[in-house]
Amino acid sequence: MASIDDRNKAFWNELCGSTLARRLGIADDSAESLRKFDDWYFDFYPYLFDHIAFDRMAGRTVLEIGLGYGTVSGRLMQAGADYHGLDIAEGPVAMARHRAALLGKSANIQTGSALAIPFADATFDDVITIGCLHHTGDLARALTEVARVTRPGGSASIMVYSAVSYRQWMRAPMATWQRNARPEFDWTNADDRSRRAYDANLEGDAAPSTTFISPAEAESFLRRLYGSVTVTPRNVGDDFLPARLLPRALGRRLFERRLGLDLYINCAK
């Protein structure tokens, strides 16, 4: 069987967000189409601004890992960061380079794996990685790699999927109860159905690898690598009935801190 890096390289070559882009009627990568995509993205995930300090990025040496459609990449470049981008697949790298060209920014954007980040120890002021590390097939190693390239005094903003979100409670209540009550690392790959519920391509295939982690597990693992760690659960989808009955912002506010799908982890070294 091909390595997990090779399988991710093939799967993610189709930009994640392609289904959304199709739904929004986006058929090209013009500046106007990308603005439409980005407006939707930041409107849907407004709390990104709480977890990524875009307004303090000017002049800082920043690494983003896992680029997708490049919305965060573009914003970091616009903010004046000395921007470095890394992704396992060619498609997201090409998109981030295209964005740099549209913005008239010089940036270093390359293919490579979060499992072996191609930079020396303590290179970056900030490492940003949203929705990526849980797909690498080795979340523990990816988190350790992120810490390795963060300089002392620097920061990391990480988003990974929660092992104790409402979706996990609905799918496997006993296992989720146990994991919540007694945190235990489970670095194994989720089954096909669970992976598809989070990430599927235009064909409906699930991402090759997805690992979940609880807030307590994330905190205890990362405290060994960083001086301070804050874990904030965010995001409820419309597969959560109580939230579906309410305006999205209110549903989120009521439920996400206990049951949110995504863990935003802010670390300072």
21 binds ligand SAM (CB under 6 A): no
Stretch that binds ligand SAM, among 11-19, 94-102, 164-172, 227-235 (CB under 6 A): 11-19
Examine residue 74 and tell whether it contacts ligand SAM (CB under 6 A): no
What is the rounded (10 degree) CA torsion for 83, 219, 212, 144?
50
Confirm if 197 and 166 have CB atoms less than 8 A apart: no
- 87 binds ligand SAM, rule: CB under 6 A: yes
Handedness of CA 92, 9, 132, 127 (dihedral sign): negative
The reply to whether 210 sits near ligand SAM by the rule CB under 6 A is: no
Q: How would you classify the pairing of strands 262-268 and 228-234?
A: antiparallel
Residue 135 lies near ligand SAM (rule: CB under 6 A): yes
Does 114 bind ligand SAM (CB under 6 A)? Our answer is yes
Distance CA 239, CA 127 (A): 31
Residue 77 in contact with ligand SAM, rule: CB under 6 A:
no
161 in contact with ligand SAM (CB under 6 A):
no
127 binds ligand SAM (CB under 6 A): no
- For every residue of 132-198, DSSP letters joined together read -GGGSS-HHHHHHHHHHHEEEEEEEEEEEEBTTSHHHHHH-HHHHHHHHHS-----SPPPHHHHHHH
Least CB distance to ligand SAM at residue 69 (A): 6
Place of tokens 């680029």: 67
Nearer to ligand SAM, 65 or 183 (CB): 65
d(CA 132, CA 19): 18
How many amino acids of this chain bind ligand SAM (CB under 6 A)?
A: 25
| Structure token digits, residue 92 | 């997201």
12 binds ligand SAM (CB under 6 A): yes
For ligand SAM, the binding residues in 173-202 under the rule CB under 6 A are: 199
Q: In the bound complex, what is the minimum distance in angstroms from residue 165's beta carbon to ligand SAM?
A: 16
**What residue ranges bind ligand SAM (CB under 6 A)?**
5, 8, 12, 16-17, 65-69, 72, 86-89, 92, 113-115, 130-132, 135-136, 199
